[in-house]
Amino acid sequence: MPKYYEFKVAGCYLYFTSKCVVECMHVHASDEELTEEGSAKFFVRDDGSSLMQRKGRLNDREIRIIQKFIAEHYREMYQKWAQYSLEGFYRGY
């Protein structure tokens, strides 16, 4: 599972799975196993904003912290994503 960073944000690792690179750029967030099951999922737009598709086990405070972090770091996160996927940012479809 590629992690965007080795440290946790709001107690969660931010990552993507090798089988999910066929979708547009997104971020899974989980404090446990780095799988899709039980994780939160945020689709990332080209302006850094994100759309939460799945809440997982996160509370509202953790969601706000993670979305703020994504907005501040999405460009460098996209560089990591682009090493594994040809798909771009979320465009609303």
Considering just the CA atoms, what is the radius of gyration of the chain in Å? 12
Taking residues 19-42, what's their average pLDDT? 87
Q: In what order do the strands lie in the sheet with 40-44?
A: 13-15, 26-30, 40-44, 50-54
For 48-78, give the DSSP string.
Answer: S-EEEEE-TT--HHHHHHHHHHHHHHHHHHH
Q: Are 36 and 92 in contact (CB under 8 A)?
A: no
Residues shown for the chain: 93
Task: Provide CB contacts within 8 A for 17, sequence distance 6+.
Answer: 1, 28, 34, 35, 36
Q: How confident is the model at residue 93 (pLDDT cuts 50, 70, 90)?
A: low
pTM above 0.85, yes or no: yes
Taking residues 86-91, what's their average pLDDT? 89
Give the pLDDT of residue 32. Answer: 78
